[in-house]
Structures are given as C-alpha cells and as structure tokens.
Structure 1
C-alpha cells in the first residue's frame, strides 16, 4: 500500500504533467476530500497507508480532473465567502469573482444590523443569499431558481449553515410570481451569449448547467427580464446589485436606466479588473 504522502506526491506530479495551474494544491484538496482528511492528517500523519481500493478510487478521480472535470464537481463542494456549499448537477459552481457582489452590497448597506429583505434571483447553491444573511444578522431573504434541483440544493445549504429560519427558496421564472417589495435584489444571471457556449472551457461547457450559462443571443435575456421587474420589486431606497459578464456594463446599465433605475456609477471591479457588479439607484 502507498502512504498518504506518496499518493499526494504522485497526484501532484500527474496534475503538473497535465498542465493544471496549481497541481500541489489540487492534489491536496482531492486527497483530503476523497479520504475525509484534515490538513493535519497530511502534514503530521503522511506516513499512514492508503488502502489499495481508496488509492484506485482517487486515481480515477484524478483522471477525471485531468480530463477537465472541475475539482469542485469531484469533491461535490465549493467555498464561497468563507462558507462551504454542496453542489448539485443543476447548480453553477460559485466563482470567486461573484464575491464582488457581496462587497458591493456591504458598501451600499454599511449597517450590518439592518433588517434587510433580500431577493436572490437565480439562487443556484444559495451562495449569494447565504453570504448576505451571514453578514446581516437581522436580514431575511427569498431565493428563486428555475431549476428544481438547484432550489432543493439551496435549501439544504442554507439549512446546513443555520440560516433556514431566515430564508426561503422557491422554484420560479425569475420574479414572475413575486409581488412583495424588497430592500435588496441580487442576481448572478446567465449571461453568456448562446453562440459563445461552444467555445467555453471544458470545465464550464461540459460540467456547468446550460440553464445557468446561456443568456440568449446577446447574453442579455435575463437582464431584460430582471430590469423590467425591478421597479415593482424594490422598496423605497432599495438597491439592485447584478453580476456582469465581460463587456456587458454599458448594455446592462442601459436596460436599468430604461426601467428608471440608473446605475449609481461605474460597476465595481473584481480582482482581475473586470467590471463585475453593477448597482442601481432608487428614489
């Protein structure tokens, strides 16, 4: 039998040969998830043997990773805003750049004790809603997703994080079934133009749900639906914070302005410098 340390080195070598950007980090994450280990188990107990059947299973997972399956899909989990979320086939893998939305909300609503009401359109794993409820201890929220599997997973994630009493998740077509007004509307909608889907990286194109990616011919279908509904969804003084795809700031700002909710200025940029989170202004 091989030891944990030996298997870790072998996986890292394979990942490096396959051209993965962070082979040691990915090998460590896969080994920890696959064997249910903590960092200490690899550092202080690296000499412990790994059963042959477990080693074979991990090598199979590693082969899938090298073929383009995201690590998060292999482990079934992803961290966002220092919270951990389980994934489902119907959910997008939460991205670090989406944390720009949370930062934008914290900027426009600085009072962490505010009893905000939050609507998360296209909630997916529930990551955005959960992150906001974790920051605003008196807030309550509603998540909506068109995919039943995503809504189910969001409910489970919110419950696991101890947020179920302040959150509900329903299945719906954007806000078509909602008549309530909210202090905050957030969304990371599908924004990839349909013709661009085929050229996406295999990690996204093959392993993320099409429903969460395809934004229609121009990538703006979801924004049009959301912008049209925002005037009736936002309470006085409320804000909408929407994630943007690359190069979409002007188009989305135009849609929001046409609905009477202009942007409050330039979109907030993510760590890569991409205009990522646009914030509306309301009366």
Structure 2
C-alpha cells in the first residue's frame, strides 16, 4: 500500500494501531517522497492534528491513533510529500520562543534571523540603555547637540520587509520601551504581521509601502531588515519547498541579490538623519559586498559582520557609538 501511495503522491494510512506507528509510517513515506527532515515533519503534523506538543506528545506515542484525525493527518502528509513546507500546512512557526502564524503570503522565519534580532537588542541596549533618545543624539543628528531643546523620546526601531512580523514583533516584545515600526510592500503580509503582533501582545506600527518610503520624515534610530536577497537566476535551483511555495517577492533580490540593499542606502535621504544602528540579514557570499555598501555610505563608525550557527557570514551591522 505504501508503494502505491507513493507512486500517485497520495498518503493513505495502513491500519496502524498506535501514534508511534503512524509516525514511523508517515516518516517513511515522506523520506521516500524526497522531503527534507521527514521525521521532524511527521512529528509536527502529528502534534498539529492531535493538539499535543512537547512532553504530552511523547507520552502519547503508545496510545491508539485516533480515527477522528486520520483524514486530516493523511491530507497533511500528502501535502508535505508534494513539497509544501510543513509550517504552511500547520500554519505556524516558532521564532525566538514565540508562536507566529505563517501563510504562503510570508516567508517562514528562519533560526538564523534570531541572531540578527539578538544583535539589534544587544547593541540597542548599549546605545540607549533606558530605551530613550535624548536631544542631540537622535540618529546621527548633525543639527542637534548643544542648545537642542527638543524633548526626549522613545527609541524608534524600523523593520523593513516585515513579512510575518517575526523581527518587529520580537523587538517589541523584548524591548517594550522601544517604539517599533515595520513596513512591507504586501498588504497580505502586513495582515499576517498584524495578527502576530496581536497574538503576542505587542504594539507595532505597521505601514504599507516600498522599503523606507512609508517612513519618510520619521526619526529612526534603528533600521533592521531581512530583505529579498536571492539572485533572480538562482531561484530555480532552490529547494522545492522554497522555490514553489514561499513568496517570490520576498526572495528575489535582483540580478545579484543586492538591489534591496542599494535601494535602502539610497532611500536613507528620506529620513531626517541616518540611524545610529543598522542591521541586515544577507545571503551566502554577500557579506563583503553589503559591508562595503555600508562603509561607502559613510554614516557608521563600526561595520560588524556576524556569522550564523553554520559559520556563514549572515548579518552585517553598522553602528555609531
């Protein structure tokens, strides 16, 4: 039965007796379907249909598989076997310890992006320990300084390319004293991000528009972005989960993948002054070029590159202390 199911791409459970047996059979089907992480996918799908997670899931492995969820499990495994990311099937991905809704309108948050959030929080706390910007230090404000009588204000952090809201919602949750804003060119993505902000009890100012344009005239202290950075001609060679299911507008960074970074550097003139802290996520082999873009802009005294957990340069930050 399993071979027939694999041949026509439809998963049909045999008469399994336990949840553990269902896991083993689905894992085997997904493996033979060419899925990456077949066991992890099978577990996430089981947890989803059973309404269990963590220790409760493992404690239930010896229990009989409930017939009431058989069709839902078969449908989920079939979709995963066809290459659909498991996160879209279950509608959720964890990021920085919090649950985030994900739909095909947004990229699935990646673990390496947590390192970017971590760095922004760390350097943001160093630059503004109480989360407040005092007159004269707003961004790189050459007009401020001695005699500036403007009132202090909350630090303002702007996330460009909000997607699911993973970055902006996490910053708002971890640094509640900050004013956090986020923009995206996709109304559907912003709708997902707004639901995630509500779900995680945070206040984020979401704005629709292209890169920095929705924030023209806004005093911005921190700018953070995980923009599209895949070179257009490389998209066809991506894993099918990414190529066929994640939104292309959130992947395609132009001919060399660097178009969004160049455009954001050009659009800094829309702000009253450049941010004192800027942080970008980027693709394999792009760190040197993105660091050069930041250095050429001349706004930051330090340019820092951060490796991801695989040792790949993944983030570039510009800082003025």
How high is the TM-score relative to the length of structure 2? 0.80
Q: 1:235: how far off? A: 5.3
Which residue of 92, 97, 103 maps to 1:77?
A: 92
Which of 184, 195, 204 pairs up with 2:233?
Answer: 195
Identify if the C-alpha distance between structure 1 residues 147 and 17 changes in structure 2 by more than 3 Å, giving closer, same or farther. Answer: same
Partner of 1:87: 102
Alpha-carbon offset, residue 148 of structure 1: 0.3
The answer to whether the Cα contact below 8 Å between 1:142 and 1:168 also exists between their aligned partners in 2 is yes
Which residue is 1:121 aligned to? 160
State whether structure 2 residue 199 is matched by structure 1 residue 184.
Answer: no
Partner of 1:12: 27
2:141 alignment partner in structure 1: none
Look up the match of 2:146.
Answer: none
Q: CA deviation at 1:16?
A: 3.9
Once the 2 structures are TM-superposed, how far is the Cα of residue 19 of structure 1 from its aligned partner? 5.2
Gaps of 5+ in 1: none
Per the TM alignment, residue 36 of structure 1 is displaced from its structure 2 partner at its CA by 1.6
Q: Quick check: 2:91–2:103 contact (8 Å CA) kept in 1?
A: yes
Instruction: Tell me the equivalent position of 2:143.
Output: none
Preserved contact between residue 253 and residue 262 of structure 1 (Cα < 8 Å):
no
Q: CA RMSD in A?
A: 2.2
* Partner residue, 1:273: 311
The CA deviation at 1:69 is 1.5
Matched, 1:174 2:191: no
Q: Deviations over 1:102-147 (max 9, x none)?
A: 1221331235642431100000000001111222121121110000
Q: Tell me which residue corresponds to 2:196.
A: 157
Partners of 2:301 and 2:189 in 1: how far apart?
Answer: 29
Please tell me whether Structure 1 or Structure 2 has the larger radius of gyration of its CA atoms: 2
1:40/1:267 Cα in 2 relative to 1: closer, same or farther (>3 Å)? Answer: closer
- Counterparts of 2:238 and 2:245 in 1: how far apart (Å)? 11
**TM-score, scaled to structure 1:** 0.90
